[in-house]
Structure 1
Amino acid sequence: MRLSELSGKEIVDMKRAERLGILGQTDLEINERTGQIQALLIPTTKWFGFRKDGTDIRVPWSRVKKIGSDMILIDVDD
């Protein structure tokens, strides 16, 4: 799958049924040697897109459970 095919998909936490963001507004952590995606870095925001505390939610790629036509389902640790 190409990165362009992932861009624009909503990222949803399966356990909480909560929308965390859109891929394209997140960062990817990539292994420089292998080129594989290691994690999604999802910025935490509050109303109107203002940063809450400047931290990111780091979701290891192994936590991505399903990539659908319009969303990515993940299983986030508490």
Structure 2
Amino acid sequence: MLFSELKCKDVINIKDCRKLGRVCDLEFDPCSGCICKIMVPGCNKLLGFLNCEPNIVIPFRDIKQIGPDIILVDIHC
């Protein structure tokens, strides 16, 4: 899967069925080349920069499924 395909998928938290946003960045392990974490923007799109929070960082172990349109994660917010 390409990053361009991954960043078009909505990230959904299965704990509360809340849409977190879309993938904006990835963190790789430089030795193994494996993905360690994905990041989702923390900004509220309605208020823009007035209500910006740091990115939501999701460890790869918390990704439960990557489907054709969404990524399901299990995190505590």
> TM bucket by the smaller chain?
0.7 to 0.9
TM-score, normalising length from structure 2?
0.82
Does the CA-based 8 Å contact 2:11-2:21 persist in structure 1?
yes
Question: What percent of counterpart residues are identical?
Answer: 30
Q: 1:49 offset after TM fit, Å?
A: 6.0
Measure the CA separation in 2 of the matches of 1:7 and 1:54: 19
Aligned residues: 76
Which residue does the alignment assign to 1:65?
Answer: 64
TM-score, normalising length from structure 1?
0.81
- Which is richer in strand? 1
Query: Structure 2: which 5+ residue stretches go unaligned?
Result: none
Query: Structure 1: which 5+ residue stretches go unaligned?
Result: none
CA RMSD for the aligned pairs?
Answer: 1.8
Measure the CA separation in 1 of the matches of 2:38 and 2:26: 5
